[in-house]
Amino acid sequence: MMTPMARAATTSDVFNAIAEPQRREILVLLRAGERPVNELAQELGMTQPGASKHLRVLREVGLVRDRKAGKQRLYGLDARGLRPIHEWTGGFERFWNESFDRLDAYVQDLKQARQEE
Amino acid sequence: MMTPMARAATTSDVFNAIAEPQRREILVLLRAGERPVNELAQELGMTQPGASKHLRVLREVGLVRDRKAGKQRLYGLDARGLRPIHEWTGGFERFWNESFDRLDAYVQDLKQARQEE
DNA sequence: TCATCATATGCCCATATCGGCATGCGTCAA
DNA sequence: TTGACGCATGCCGATATGGGCATATGATGA
């Protein structure tokens, strides 16, 4: 029994949403203010459908909000969802600071355990 | 010409590496210190091959280092790669703080543009 | 040299993604 | 009402992933 259950949790969470380079670019652009889809697509060199799809993902995880403005639809940033990521990575801060010492000792070990590979 | 070029950049960058829940769990566990594969697999309830695969991804993006220790292979954290992400998200800090005001004004707009759907 | 333990890989299945393209849908102006 | 514009969707093709399982590889101790 048991369907092979390919891929586990993936879509629909902020970590995944910002794993895509173009989506990160969209977010950066939106810091300057709301923008209609076409403008975003043009400024980022992507097709309109392409922009719409990425915007959809961003909207589904709550990183952007949209509102109608005439024929256009303006997308705006809602960065609150990035905070958890900032905090999660922040939980490793002391480690990347310690890194010098730790890596140094680490490298020593490596030199002695030179039977590597 | 131009091969359809399906998926764009994905693997091999830190953003993608931490987009996987189990890989994030591994990183968290490693904050307590180096661990052999089997131990990680057990503590996280995954199979040994599964753990090895996730560790490989983490190693390829530089988030973990490994060294031999007898029959085992100890994996250790190298959090330096998380710093760029922490900083990238930090670039949005003023936005999630402003959020209250901005969203408030935003909601007003929405209420008036109630022809939404 | 030979079992045995600890890992890494290879392979297959099922699915998730991305991009490109065509098309549907809603809005506005003539 | 009609046509153009702006955007969202649907569909297809190519590929990346994840998990499960079997097996190759490396290292250790008898």
The CATH number of B1-77 is 1.10.10.10
Average pLDDT, chain B: 84
Rounded mean pLDDT, A93-105 = 70
- Residue of B19, B77, B86 with shortest CB distance to A86: B86
Cα A4 to Cα A1, A7, B48: the distances in Å are 9, 9, 17
Q: What is the DSSP letter of A74?
A: E
CB atoms closer than 10 angstroms to residue A6: 6
Tokens of B84: 């760029």
Quick check: B38 and B55 in contact, CB under 8 A?
no
**Unique residue bearing structure tokens 């530089």:** B62
Taking 80 as the threshold, does the pLDDT of residue B81 lie above it?
Answer: yes
Among candidate residues B110, B100, B97, the one with its CA nearest the CA of residue A65: B110
Residues 9-68 of A with CB under 7 A from strand D: 36-39, 48-49, 51-53, 55-56, 66
Tokens of B63: 């988030």
The H-or-E segment that residue B111 falls in is helix B93-112
The answer to whether the C-beta of A21 is closer than 7 A to strand C is no
Q: Which nucleotide has the shortest C1'-to-CA distance from B51? A: C7
Among candidate residues A19, A72, A10, A106, the one with its CA nearest the CA of residue B77: A106
Distance B53 CA to C30 C1' (A): 63
The per-residue pLDDT for B114 is 40
The per-residue pLDDT for A7 is 53
Cα B19 to Cα A93, A95, B14, B82: the distances in Å are 19, 20, 9, 12
Torsion angle, alpha carbons of A37, A40, A42, A43, to 10:
170
- How much of chain A, in percent, has pLDDT values that exceed 70? 74
The distance of Cα A42 from the centroid of its chain, to the nearest Å, equals: 21
Q: Which nucleotide has the shortest C1'-to-CA distance from A48? A: D7
Confidence of residue B97 (pLDDT cuts 50, 70, 90): confident
Indicate the pTM of the whole model. 0.83
Chain B residue with minimal CA distance to A17? B19
The nearest CA of chain A is from the CA of B3 a distance in Å of: 17
Look up residue B88 and give its amino acid.
Answer: W
Which residue would you say has higher pLDDT here, B85 or A109?
Answer: B85
Across the interface, do B9 and A21 touch by the CB < 8 Å criterion?
yes
Distance B109 CA to D26 C1' (A): 65
